[in-house]
Every structure is written in C-alpha cells, then in structure tokens.
Amino acid sequence: MKVGVVGASGYVGGETLRLLVNHPDVEIAMVTSRQHVGEYLHRVQPSLKGFTDLMFSELDYDKLTDQCDLVFTAVPHGTATEIVKALYDRGIKVIDLSADYRLHNQDAYDKWYGWEHPHPDYLAKSVFGVPELHREAIKKAQLVSCPGCMAVTSMLALAPLIRNDIIDTEHIVVDSKIGSSGAGSGSGTAHAMRAGVIRPYKPAKHRHTGEIEQELSEIAGHKIRVSMSPHAVDVVRGILCTNHTFLKKDIEEKELWKLYRQAYGEERFIRLIRDKKGLYKFPDPKFLVGSNFCDIGFDLDEDNNRLIALSASDNLMKGAAGSAIQNMNVMCGFDEMDGLRNTPLTPV
C-alpha cells in the first residue's frame, strides 16, 4: 500500500517515517514539508539515512490523490483542518496526528484550544484513534484522529475502572510527567531549559483534559470531569500518569487484577505491570522508549479509599506515531503489530 506523510519535519513526522520504512506492507510514496522542499529526508531526519532516498515535496493534493492510498497528517495543531478536509473530500483515508479532529463537539475547540472549528460537520466523520477502545469503528473509518499522548496514556488506565463503576467519577485527578519531545521540536526543548527540571505547566485546563473527559464520558454514559496537571521532567521521551481515583466500594487486589485482565488480556500493546520485587514494580517510561506499549499498574491506599492507577508510555510512540501505525494496520486489515514489533530500548 502506498502512503504519504504531510508535515514530516518534526519529531512526530520523523517517528512516523521511521516506523513506515520498516513496515512490511507499505511503500512511502510522498512526503511533504513547507520548509524543506527538494531536500533529502535524511538531511532533516538523520535516522532515515540508508533507508530511503526520497526528497521532501510540496503539498500537492492532486499528486497525493494519484500516488497514495492513505495519508498521515503530522502538522501543528490548528493547521490540519483544511488539509484533512481536502484529502477526505478526495476519498483518501486519513490518519491525523494533530488535535484538529479529536473532539466531537465544536464548542470544545473554543474551550480547550481557543479557536472556532471551521468544519464542524466533519468532526462526526472522525473516529478517535484508540484501537483498544474503538477498534471496530476504526476498521470502517476513512478519517482517524490520533489521541494526545497524555490523554491516551491516562484514559487506558482509567477506562476499565469507569466501565466497571468502581470509582467516584466526580473526583479523578491525573498527574502527568512528560519528557521534552512532547513539546515538539521548538526552542522550548533546549537542554539548558530542560535539564534538572520538574516544571508544572498548564496545571489547570490543559487541552488533553477535553479528550479524556470525552472518551471516559462515552464509556460511563454520563458526564465525567477530570482534573489534570502535567509536569515537564528531565527526560527526552516518556510519560508517566499517576491517576488518583477514589473507590465507591471496598475492592481486593485480586479483583482489580481480574478487572484489568478482562479489559486488556487480549491486547498486544498493553502490559500489566505490578511486581513485588525489583526496581520495576510499577509502570516506568524508561522501559518503554521506542515501543508502542502502554504499561498499566495500580496500588491501593485503603486508609483513604484511594486507588492509584499508574500508566506509562513513550509519547512519540503510543502517544503519537505508534498509535498512527497501529490505526493504519486496523484500518487496512494488516496484522496490528506490523511495523511495531519493537522491544523497548534499554538502557537509554
């Protein structure tokens, strides 16, 4: 199958290309970038040297339509709206890695992103790209919108708890720690600004909250409110979400194990992590770098009736490009692990 990537000069676009060049069922037909037209991909994405001789092209909808069966859009938030619509109208399958079609309600864009969506009729055409939650819809979709990195990491830990109605859905607190690559390839990721840092940013009203509330409310059948506070930490890749929830009833550890196994026992990209020995007792993003896994664990605080659901992922993989490839595999009938059979890199 021939695919294109629109906007492949950043971290997410580069990671998408890294995965595509090794996918057994895919040929990269076209890659676009506004700034780097005519340059070899490896001049901007050095890890691709020796894997492809493609050059960056201008964004040409007719050429994309002629040359590609599916297109990934990896452009900044707010700039994908017109590109996605144009491709969708031409009948191409689209996987969007921006936030522009993640939310179903047009009013949510004003609340969480501060702008009015120009094509609200297309929001209902988009499927939220978490196969563990929406696999059957993704199979039939023409447009899939990949989730935000902190959103998917936290919601996978919380979804089984809400589905089984064991936690107080009025009081959910998501404490997320994320590496510098989650901020994109801009100057804010410079080493001098990130080294030694545990920096809160947007401690209230972070935009990923909208996705989490949307998806968990759909599971619950009623409005869910989530309090989320992210922190920048001194790593390059990785997310750890400490999800604080409060139990509606007493529950034993073995019941929680059963609940999570029922939810994810057949899922190949979710690993349940809770060990009594060693350093790796709970999910740890250090042991997920380069992989598409989301690790989930938990602990119980009986004194305060609190269940702490812990989840970790690589923000450029399960939080972005890895999810995009997984969604492509589901949409196109490939094995879901194709192009993603990578064990995590360690040590890093």
Query: 81 by DSSP, 3-state: which?
Result: helix
For residue 131, what are the contacts with CB-CB under 8 A and spacing of at least 6?
A: 138, 326, 327, 330, 336
Whole-angstrom distance, CA of residue 243 vs CA of residue 229? 10
Select which of 68, 149, 241, 294 is catalytic: 149
Place of tokens 């199979």: 139
How many CA atoms within 13 Å lie on the side-chain side of 321?
Answer: 30
11 assigned ligand-binding residue: yes
Nearest by Cα to 308 from 201, 154, 170, 203:
154
Residues comprising the chain, all counted: 348
| Residue 271 to residue 273: CA distance in whole angstroms | 6
Q: Is 9 annotated as a binding residue?
A: yes
Q: Is 12 annotated as a binding residue?
A: yes
Strands 143-145 and 70-73: unpaired
What DSSP string describes 34-59? SS-TTSBHHHHSGGGTTT---B-B--
Confirm whether residue 88 is marked as ligand binding. no
Q: Which two tokens stand for residue 218?
A: 């759909």
Q: Is 149 a catalytic residue?
A: yes
The b/e string for 70-108 (b: 16+ C-beta within 10 A; e otherwise) is bbbbbbebeebbebbbebbeeebbbbbbbbbbbbeeeeb
Q: How buried is 150 (Cβ within 10 angstroms: 0-12 exposed, 13-18 middle, 19+ buried)?
A: buried
Q: What angle do CA 315, 319, 320 make, to 5 degrees?
A: 105
CA distance 280 to 272: 12
Could you tell me where the beta strands, DSSP code E, fall in the chain?
Answer: 2-6, 27-32, 70-73, 93-96, 126-128, 143-145, 173-178, 198-200, 227-233, 239-246, 270-272, 294-301, 306-313
Neighbouring C-beta atoms of residue 10, cutoff 10 Å: 20
The reply to whether 122 sits in an annotated binding site is: no
Known binding-site residue numbers for NADP(+):
9-12, 315
Known binding-site residue numbers:
9-12, 315
- Residues with catalytic roles: 149
